[in-house]
Structure 1
Amino acid sequence: MRILLVAGSGWRAAAPEVARAAARAWSSAAPRDAVVAQALADGGPGFVEVARPLMAADPGLLVLETALAPEGPAGAGTTDLVAGTSLELGRMLGAALATDARTIALGLGPAPVHGWADGGAGLLVGLAEVLGVPVPGRDRLVAGGAGLGGVRATDLPDVARLRRALGARDVVGAYRSSDPVLGLAGLAAGLAEARRLDPVVAQALEHNLGDLAHALAALAGLAGRDLLAGSGPAASVRALGALPGAGGGAALVLHALGVRLAPGLRVVADRAGLDAAINGSDVVVVVVPAVDGGEMHDGTVALVGELALEVAVPVVVVAGHCVAGRREWAAAGISAVYEEPRRSAAASDVLGVVPRVARTWSR
């Protein structure tokens, strides 16, 4: 049999290591099967590690991630998140433009990982400085989300010039969560709900990010159009606010710079030829820490299930624990879900289930 083993993200170990270990575990129980291992990443921590084979296969591809340009430690507190800046991320992106890369994929991880929630204001400054573009309101833009109150279009660098610099490359911002920058389900609200920000601080951050969106929208033609929202500055702000809040809201500025935004899993899957690999398999096995609401909505299980359903290839999921009901995962194209008996999400424990699954499904 032809088995495709796909490891999702969220492990303490690197996803490629989990994928290879899962393949060995399957082969130990079903040695005659031809097993191929594939790791996926969603744009968060580990995005670059998963993409290394893709960069090796295509020298014109350069993959970066926000976790490589931290301004605050993982687990940063309230003050760090609102004062942290994405300045180094902008410098990293500027440095990437000096390479021969034709495609630059930038993984946008969650705010608590890299320690900022500034809507990409610091990124704008870092990129402008590398390219030699003046920034009138530099001090305000690098003061983190807490310093963005009252920011105006006149504080920003020449965004059109930065767009032209990026326009010569295919730059993509790879995100996991589609939760928006602004609103009741936005970046600030999510940080408050996760108890990473005091509600009062989160409300101020929401207001400040809104000011940044207004400043960007004031630059005619840079915010893009939303046919449902209408036209004019207010509509542009609504369109910008609905962008993914990944990367500490950096998608806000990246969109204004003309960067293409796409789900990180899709970016890796398309580059790795996942659809063709699934089509050429008899069974696809997905190994993830948990099958929860996020995994079923926009995670590895949801993506693999969708692709496999199109070509009628069965998908089996091995997870530490599963909170999704049978009706939900079956509708997503999943044939079976196997949980670790103790509901442990540790990779070593979950991989211990793989040989039993191999004996069940191999023929």
Structure 2
Amino acid sequence: MYLGELARGTDRFHEPRRPDCPWCGSRRLRTRLRTPDLLQHKPGTFVVDECEDCAHAFQNPRLTTEGLAFYHRDLYGHEDGHGDGHEDGGRDEDRDGHPGGLDREGFAERTLRSRAGRRRHEAAARAMLPFPEPESWLDVGTGHGHFPAAAKEFFTYTSFDGLDPTARVEKARAAGRVEEAHRGLLPDLAGRLRARYDVVSMFHHLEHSPDPRAELRAALAVLRPGGHLLVEVPDPDCAFGALLGKWWVSYCQPRHLHLMPLRNLLDELDAQGCSVVSTDRREPHVPYDLTGALALAIGNRLPGGDEPWRPTPPTDLQRTLRTALTRAAAPLLASASVLDHALAPLLRRTRFSNAYRIIARKNDRAPSPSWPGLSP
């Protein structure tokens, strides 16, 4: 299947390059990054441009819907060819690779799957403790619903629903992690979910969206007046971006379409009728930058794996060598992880913090979002 698709070339997976910033419309753009797919090693080159006026960074040319499906397919075992929201990095801790764990799931993929953990979910839930306990909460990009499961321990009487484009959300409902499963994209479902929730959470979701503004409008549409929006995204101002270049995991090309500076999101939320309650660049920091960069670098120097998009399968010698080198790299990765965690208390207080959180309140008299399917 893959080789047949690739025989037609990868140019068709890209929209035309845009000459202006999708956030502010400025035509003063500079190339911030040019990189291949360092995670899955699928063919193609991807460019991240940055606006010199508002500092918004975005994939340019952007992937088409077909391109997004192609490059997300098989990522961490995700279903339906979609990526995720806040399971970026994977919370499928129960998945195994092929023999040796290396053939169909890349070295860096296995390493980075562990970066999202229960402690992060609990920290995000605790951020909402100063506010009244909500009756209803929608987690967008919920995947298998591990965040609602963790948050339920803090908000015992809250009803948690999940929204995700893949079948994972239905598995989350079957496992009892969410009460209702909404399968699809938030902008498409906002009409029937209008004014239904007291809290909407989006963890590492907006950077995957082709239109982050549309996602925010949809989130506000499903919030009740006075409800809260909880957002966490990678911070493009993180100094690791300049230090590590293409090896900085938060670039995540070709899956991250937008990297939004904090100021831009704050201004947009204000324009959409919200009051920003709090911002935090410390606690959302994920200590994985050095480990992730090392994993990507090693993964791109190992003999090729048994991925279906490679023209030929690896030989027995290549498989053996790949397994041996991976085992040899384990102590290096363990040391990098220790260093990431040891430095985290300091880095959280500097420009090396790699993520930020916003909590915003939908004003009681906020203008009603104009949205297809929303009746006046």
TM-score, with normalisation over the residues of structure 2? 0.28
Q: Which has the larger radius of gyration?
A: 1
Greater share of helix: 1
TM-score, with normalisation over the residues of structure 1? 0.29
